[in-house]
């Protein structure tokens, strides 16, 4: 039996890139414990000392914390060359396992878990510890009913001692706050941003910031706003959406300033709405329709939060020694209910303020001015060249009368039209400018009129996509923001105005995401694609080589060539199936007149995704049925719609889907329309 100190190893219960976790037994205290170690491969090479320091930091940071929402650390030591950490053994499952399994909590449970985590983080921050890696894999759910516990302070930052080197990136990118990418100082509000990402996933079934690469994820976290949670889950209360978006604010000053404030808001949501059931999520009460939640409301907090606030209910005491102001007092956003009594003195070290270098600021300013000056000079030189070229063209002598180019287009003198002046359109269609055409007989030529060219906003040149198998052209009829992902390349952001066009090319896949679907017209390889949706609506669509495949009727028409009207009559129709928010774990099937058209089987994954597919069908009147659920058990929801399809016509079958509660036959809801 392997031993670490006096602790006996029973079995391995987990492993990661840094080390392993074993289930063990403490023979002295006669209790089951968890033993965390470092891999031997991590203890050699240039990173060995950093891993040892990080492991020691975990023991020092977590050892000072004793809270029901934090896994307790009992002991630490070294067995041979292997450091180990002895912790409380917590049976259960991680929140990551729950979310990836597709299980969905009701709103009341989402608020309860969020409140427990916020109170645990408030306690850790009050003791000078920042976790910096809050994610579902580090949250253990245990007990009946389940309670959340925070694990793994392996990358925690002690606010009283800078122990990491400048520029080191620690954490999981999808859950990191913007300031962790930009290098700004961190405090407890960074952990609250990560908790907001978790609440967003629990409430909607999808992550707010996703991407194929770390660069794409970090760009979205720093620069883009997430989709409003209620667009992904219409059954979500307005109040919870407000709390989640406040947690995800780019500016730390716009977030909740402490974990206690966030816990109070979530507790207020729990007390202001009826208990949610497994069959669905209830709508928000009228009191929360405005989206504003007061963190000063009287709400049931946990014992630890009440202990930290118990000083506001105690009788007057002698004045306490001066302490640094709290985060809410520094920002001037203290709740009205706390203004009546002083805040309980708390040993909190204020976060370090960023050190700004005036020299660097001046260098950046001068560099920006230099770039602007170069651009302005280039624009002036280009404009002068255009004016000089136009003036030189006007100074050229008029053409000889023997070559009357303009007169060649005049009507004969014997026709009645010869006595009337030519229409205005003849002037515009003449190949010779009006200023250089010969004057009429007996009239001196009019002086040349020099006009300044119109100043138009220049956009960067469009890329050459002629060599790509997939060539997309996007034209906007109204302002719209467009994100284009080509194959595995990073996301490209564009802002289009009325009448503007952009092009993109890819080898296999093109994905387009916009906030104004009705403003875009798309062509794939010079072939017009179906409209994305109404004005002002968001939409995501994927194009592959399948979208270019012609229908059976089209192939017949192409092979027949100019075979006459009978070949055109055989042209097929098309149905464009567009699904929004389709659950990944559900089966999806489309049936045409009782015959399956196509089917997408569910996967053991959580969340939802859009679906777009074009199918060829014969012309005529058809009944199309859509099924979402479990095809094997035949449990789910089925709707159908009937419509007329003409030859060569493409009609869009829209499926607006959302789902609620845990997995059950009645959890699927969708609307069906044929445009």
Q: Is 18 exposed, middle or buried (0-12, 13-18, 19+ CB in 10 A)?
A: middle
Beta partners for residue 653, in sequence order? 577, 674
- What DSSP string runs through 398-414? PPPTTS-TTGGGSPPTT
> Catalytic residue among 26, 133, 187, 206, which?
133
Query: Locate tokens 């049931």: which residue?
Result: 300
Strands 527-528 and 520-524: antiparallel
Query: Locate tokens 């069959």: which residue?
Result: 279
Four-point Cα dihedral 521, 522, 528, 534, nearest 10: -40
The C-alpha atoms of residue 33 and residue 25 are separated, in whole angstroms, by 6
What is the dihedral sign for C-alpha 318, 322, 327, 330? positive
Nearest to 592 by CA among 566, 625, 616, 630: 625
Q: 671 catalytic, yes or no?
A: no
Contacts of 490 (CB under 8 A, 6+ apart): 211, 213, 215, 216, 219
CA angle 553, 554, 556 (to 5 degrees): 65
The C-alpha atoms of residue 278 and residue 390 are separated, in whole angstroms, by 75
HSE-CB at 542 with a 13 A cutoff on CA atoms is: 12
Do 373 and 366 meet the contact criterion of CB atoms below 8 Å apart?
Answer: no
Nearest to 281 by CA among 343, 367, 203: 203
Do 642 and 622 meet the contact criterion of CB atoms below 8 Å apart?
Answer: yes
Nearest to 479 by CA among 508, 503, 499, 458: 499
Task: Read off the tokens for 199.
Answer: 């609440």
Instruction: Give the 3-state secondary structure of 141-202.
Output: EECCCCEEEECCCCCCEECCCCCCCCCCCCCCHHHCCHHHHHCCCCCHHHHHHHHHHHHHHH
Beta partners for residue 484, in sequence order? 492, 512
- What DSSP string runs through 593-606? TTEEEEEE---S--
3-state secondary structure of 425: helix
The C-alpha atoms of residue 347 and residue 184 are separated, in whole angstroms, by 23
Q: Please report, for residues 134, 238, 674, the alpha-carbon distance to residue 208 in angstroms, rounded to integers and kept in the order given.
A: 15, 17, 30
Active site residues: 133
């Amino acid at each position: 039996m392997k031993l670490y100190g006096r602790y006996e190893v029973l079995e391995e219960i987990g492993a990661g890139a840094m080390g392993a976790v074993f289930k063990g037994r403490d023979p002295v205290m006669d209790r089951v414990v968890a033993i965390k170690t470092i891999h031997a491969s991590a203890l050699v090479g240039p990173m060995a000392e950093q891993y040892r320091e990080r492991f020691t930091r975990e023991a020092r940071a977590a050892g000072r914390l004793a809270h029901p929402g934090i896994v307790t650390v009992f002991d630490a030591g070294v067995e041979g060359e292997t450091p180990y950490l002895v912790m409380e053994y917590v049976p259960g499952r991680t929140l990551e396992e729950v979310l990836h399994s597709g299980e969905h909590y009701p709103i009341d449970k989402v608020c309860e878990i969020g409140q427990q985590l916020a109170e645990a983080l408030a306690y850790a921050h009050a003791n000078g510890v920042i976790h910096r890696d809050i994610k579902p894999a580090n949250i253990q759910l245990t007990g009946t009913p389940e309670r959340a516990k925070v694990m793994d302070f392996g990358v925690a930052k002690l606010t009283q001692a800078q122990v990491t080197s400048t520029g080191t990136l620690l954490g999981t990118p999808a859950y990191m706050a913007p300031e962790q990418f930009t290098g700004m100082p961190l405090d407890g509000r960074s952990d609250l941003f990560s908790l907001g990402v978790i609440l967003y996933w629990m409430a909607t079934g999808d992550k707010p910031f996703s991407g194929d690469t770390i660069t794409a994820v970090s760009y979205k976290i720093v620069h883009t706003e997430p989709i409003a949670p209620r667009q992904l889950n219409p059954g979500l209360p307005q109040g919870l959406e407000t709390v989640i978006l406040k947690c995800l604010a780019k500016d730390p000053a716009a977030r909740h300033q402490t974990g206690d404030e966030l816990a109070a808001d979530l507790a207020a949501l729990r007390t202001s709405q009826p208990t949610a059931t497994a069959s669905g999520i209830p709508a928000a009460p009228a009191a929360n329709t405005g989206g504003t939640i007061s963190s000063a409301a009287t709400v049931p907090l946990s014992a630890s939060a009440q202990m930290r606030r118990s000083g506001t209910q105690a009788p007057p005491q002698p004045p306490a020694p001066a302490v640094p102001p709290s985060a809410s007092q520094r920002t001037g956003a203290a709740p009205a209910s706390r203004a009546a009594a002083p805040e309980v003195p708390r040993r909190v070290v204020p976060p370090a303020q960023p050190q700004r270098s005036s020299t660097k600021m001046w260098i950046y300013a001068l560099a920006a001015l230099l770039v602007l000056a170069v651009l302005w000079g280039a624009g002036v030189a280009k404009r002068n060249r255009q004016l000089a070229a136009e003036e030189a063209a006007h100074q050229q002598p008029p053409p000889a009368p023997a070559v009357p180019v303009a007169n060649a287009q005049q009507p004969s003198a014997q026709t009645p039209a010869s006595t009337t002046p030519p229409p205005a359109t003849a002037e515009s269609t003449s190949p010779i400018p009006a200023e250089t055409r010969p004057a009429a007989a007996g009239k001196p030529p009019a002086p040349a009129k020099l006009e300044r060219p119109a100043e138009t906003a220049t956009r960067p040149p469009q890329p050459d996509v002629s060599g790509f198998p997939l060539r997309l052209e996007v034209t906007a009829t109204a302002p719209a923001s467009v994100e284009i992902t080509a194959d595995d390349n990073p996301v490209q952001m564009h802002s289009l105005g009325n009448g503007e066009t952009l092009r993109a090319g890819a080898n296999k896949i093109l994905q387009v995401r916009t906030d104004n679907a009705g403003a875009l017209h798309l062509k794939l390889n010079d072939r017009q694609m179906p409209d994305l949706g109404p004005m002002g609506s968001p939409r995501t669509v994927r194009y592959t080589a399948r979208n270019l495949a012609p229908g059976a009727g089209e192939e017949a028409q192409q092979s027949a060539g100019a075979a006459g009207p009978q070949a055109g009559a055989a042209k097929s129709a098309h149905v464009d199936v567009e699904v929004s928010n389709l659950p990944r774990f559900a089966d999806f099937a489309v049936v045409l007149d009782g015959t399956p058209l196509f089917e997408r089987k569910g996967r053991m994954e959580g969340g939802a995704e859009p679906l777009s597919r074009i199918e060829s069908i014969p012309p005529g009147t058809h009944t199309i049925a859509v099924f979402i659920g479990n095809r094997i058990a035949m449990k789910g929801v089925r709707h159908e719609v009937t419509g007329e399809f003409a030859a060569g016509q493409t009609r869009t079958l829209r499926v607006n889907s959302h789902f609620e509660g845990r997995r059950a036959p009645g959890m699927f809801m969708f609307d069906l329309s044929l445009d």
